[in-house]
Structure 1
Amino acid sequence: MKDLQEILAIALDVGLGAANILRSYYHETAKNSNLDVQYKHNEPVTVADIAVSQYILESLQAALGNEDFAYISEETYQSQLGGDTPEWVWIIDPLDGTRDFIEKTGDYAIHIALVNKTRPILAVVAVPEAEKLYYATKGGGTFVKTRDASISLKVSSNKQVEDLTLVVSRSHRNERLNYLLQHLPCQNQKAVGSVGCKIATIVEQQADVYISLSGKSAPKDWDIAAPELILTEAGGKFTHFDGTPLQYNTGDINQWGGLLASTSQHHEVLCQEAERALAQFTHS
């Protein structure tokens, strides 16, 4: 198998190509830029999602083959029919933030993660409208690549807990999550679509905390795996409310429960407050 830096170079190249394809649909310069929006499980899917998924899968498979790696993309995923979970798996979201893509807010991203057993060891998050590629390898730190340079990113937090800013969704909201957010010690909020864009906002130090709370449905491995490594390698934390690490490639692609991402300084306190608020909501 190629070494991690070679694999990263391939993934960056693929991320850049995927970003160019998405921008061509977004700015309607693609040959056929009619998005032809369909709905799957109440979530929109466009021809752009499908085209980019195909591009990423074909490009990675052409460069890396199928012997060492399995590939899971949101658009092609079929629930695994038994059998062993592969040791090395690419987990891909070709378009995270489809609603934002359709509504032209600019908050959409591409997630590409390489997971070994149950943990991500390489991640690329492309934010096409910012013309930025965020990337990280396990133990190697987080970087942002622009047209001109690659810059190392580190989150720093020397704020009081009440001064932290939560990055929240525009659309995925429900009563439980609203109650929880209202009962946290920090009340500043910034609305950003796409998990990849939210985590980019945190590593760029424009926000400090993100909370995901599953309801009838949950975020999937491909929503979280790449952004998680981008944040943790920059010095942040991304865990369940009880502090346990996230796991991927477990046979269940859902990330159930409460997840909290932060610049790490007040992480444990925020997790405890979130658990307390949820318990209060359940009893209210």
Structure 2
Amino acid sequence: MLPIARSIGWGAAKILRAYYRGEPMQDGSVRELNIQDKKDGPVTAADLAVNHYVLSKLEAAFGTEDFGYLSEETYKAKAAPEPLPHGWVWILDPLDGTRDFIDKTGEFAFHLALAYQGRPMLAIVACPELNKLYYATLGGGTFVETPDGAAKPMRVSDCEQIADLTVVVSRTHRDDRFNAMLKQIPCQNQLAVGSVGGKIAAIVDRRADVYISLSGKSAPKDWDMAAPELILTEAGGKFTHADGSPLRYNQGDVSQWGCLIASNGTCHEQLCTIASELLAEG
């Protein structure tokens, strides 16, 4: 499964780069983004093109009897928010960081995870503008691959002093409640990176150590978190709710509500306790 998923990841990255860079279509016509503003954020032609490409490849390889497929497009097509009945579910985010894609920061990603009974078993996070594809399997570690096929194992930092940890944050998607929390936690070093996949890649690359997600009017979705979670945990990090409980996927409601904390693991429980206390106060 992993070679197929990696191949699909590189194919998806190629499509995203073509749209991002405005490369002409095969017939020479202009590649339009056709940005549509939706309730949970903008959707572009790049999202839809990658979604179609990946689902067609996965369904051709694995069929629809034993495997379910969950993405924003397949979720919206359902009449009610019920879990897919399959034990094995592919969870897809064709373009994580659409705003960064539109704003040309280069910090967007592609996510693909295979979950079994609600927990990720295999994950791909591709960062097209970095020419990197991160992959992980449960118990098999995390690796980063370059277009020439070279791969190397990845490991999070071993920084143990909570004050020295660097928090990776968004430039957007930050409300007053979240900003207040950031000001009160012990780690004040910050690095701005777009997309969840890009943030987790920064932790795996040892450029940062902590990522915090705090839902407000909306929340990140299964497809935002499933692949990055396994990429981080197989590189030695931790990714949980602030109460320490694990994330679960394909539960019907795809929103990951509450406070989620991802870290290099060294001060994870302490960070969870601090975040929980701050939320209880405010």
TM-score, structure 2 normalization: 0.95
Asked whether the equivalents of residues 88 and 115 of structure 2 are also in contact (C-alpha less than 8 Å), the reply is: yes
Is 1:15 the counterpart of 2:9? The answer is yes
Report 1:1-284 matches (<5 A). Answer: 7-31=1-25, 32-78=30-76, 79=78, 81=80, 82=82, 85-148=85-148, 149-281=150-282
> Cα distance, 1:80 vs. partner?
6.1
Say whether the 8 Å CA contact 1:80–1:251 is kept in structure 2. Answer: no
TM-score by length of 1: 0.94
C-alpha deviations, 1:194-248, integer Å up to 9, x for none? 0000000000000000000011111000000000000000000000001001100
Contact 2:84 2:250 in 1 (8 A): no
Contact 2:221 2:256 (8 Å CA) reproduced: yes
Instruction: Give the 3 Å change call, closer, same or farther, for CA 247–83 of structure 1 in structure 2.
Output: closer
Residue 84 of structure 1 and its aligned partner are, at CA, apart by 6.1
Distance 1:84 1:33, change over 3 A: closer
Aligned residues: 275
Residues 121, 47 of structure 1: alpha-carbon distance in 2 compared, 3 angstrom cutoff: same
Deviation of residue 76 (structure 1)?
Answer: 3.0
What root-mean-square deviation, in Å, do the aligned CA atoms of Structure 1 and Structure 2 show? Answer: 1.2
Provide, for residues 117-162 of structure 1, a one-character-per-residue CA deviation record: whole Å limited to 9, x for no partner. 0100000000000010000000000000013410001113134110
Change (3 A) 1:126 1:194: same
Displacement after TM superposition at 1:77 (Å): 1.8
Look up the SS of the partner of 2:217 in the other structure.
coil
| Structure 2: 5+ residue stretches without partners | none
Percent of aligned pairs with the same amino acid: 60
Gaps of 5+ in 1: 1-6
Change (3 A) 1:59 1:184: same
Distance 2:84 2:126 in 1: 31
Task: Give the secondary-structure state (helix, strand or coil) at the position aligned to 2:74.
Answer: coil
- Equivalent residues of 2:240, 2:261 under 8 A apart: yes
